[in-house]
Structure 1
């Protein structure tokens, strides 16, 4: 069995590639960069992610059984590039896959940002909730989802709506990744950890079990043509996770909170419903704060 992975050099992509290797599935990658330093196997590179002919040529040559479309960008500028990466790339993949003699099973990595802000009474948010995203990222991810669902009658497509994935190798544009980078840069005598508001609760899930779940879901026919929340179903405090980082720091750390930005992060509490996942026998546990802290600082 062969899997094609986009975004393979990213945070979640590396964990998915590792899980595929454990399962004995060969991996090829597709993107504009070269993740060869982190991903064994063949790396296909195309200059323009919106080049339909180039994407189709890669799919024909690679002939994957599974496609994990994990590529995406959270940057809002330039706007055209965000749409190219988050929407057009997926649309080209789906169109090319439909023309293959044996179309692969395709997983699209969505985001909880597609839901937009929710009132407390609407929580936990289920897959049937109306999506009203307020960020460019959420809007473009929702557009990707719509392309996937439109293609579902002709392709086995799963839309994995990811909540807050955390673990080793988190990038610095995510809160815990940024906090860990600050701590690692501190001298042995310690320092100040500058954060945004920590009085936030989110549905955090760990990257390793999430990668396993994505593989299981893509091979599960019950998920075809569905949006599936990838969440624990329970909120976890950002303050608790930050406290675990401070405990694991091995040096004195003073936490200084600052005012936060406006947007989805302005919500005090936000978590997903895992009812659909659990009805199929799957479960993602809330994160082990101390284990995550050790991975982030390791």
Structure 2
């Protein structure tokens, strides 16, 4: 998850129509890493939001968790800062609670899943009262952000389901059991999926990671390296709304430590996951 990029700040957002400064030109379709051409002029003084394309999914509520791909540039340096497109792990954003700038809230709230949104956010309004900027970003910088809104989900408290401790002997082969079969769209290789998950490891059965404990589901692209070993085989062909129990032998995870987006797996251990597939976005 992207944390601390734009701490809470009270800002008023200008609309694209009310901004006299030419805006960056954004190329590319939803789901693809955008190409951004920033004009060689002074950045606007106030934040600007522009919907570049409108999706047909659920409308984001003010108290939702939004799952988004985001790419960020610095206006002055005219270069990329970071993005989630290449890590193939969309980030989860808790709206209305101070996790991110009010500029992010205003850019995302009221928009529909499947939309691509441009946000121009001056750092002086985005980094909070202490003016603390992220690494390699000056407090005087303006950020250019392009969001692909994968989906939004009610931020109700999700109770972590009990995952039974593993059997005494770790598995030697991959196994996946569908505990509940949903009725939503089917996940396939290359799909962007949103899920809650819990993982524990042999031999002690200790939980090493859980999206429930962070209070928000996570997004992933179902491709090798973008998800932990075993997930692609376990989820391909499974409809949204399903719950899958997966046991992964240590041999399958040999040499794997973490996804490109930073989801780590205990090295050299057999692991078990409960995967609650909330959504399939493509």
TM-score when normalising by structure 1: 0.23
State which structure, 1 or 2, has the greater radius of gyration over its C-alpha atoms.
2
The structure with the largest strand share of the pair is 2
The structure with the largest helix share of the pair is 1
TM-score when normalising by structure 2: 0.24
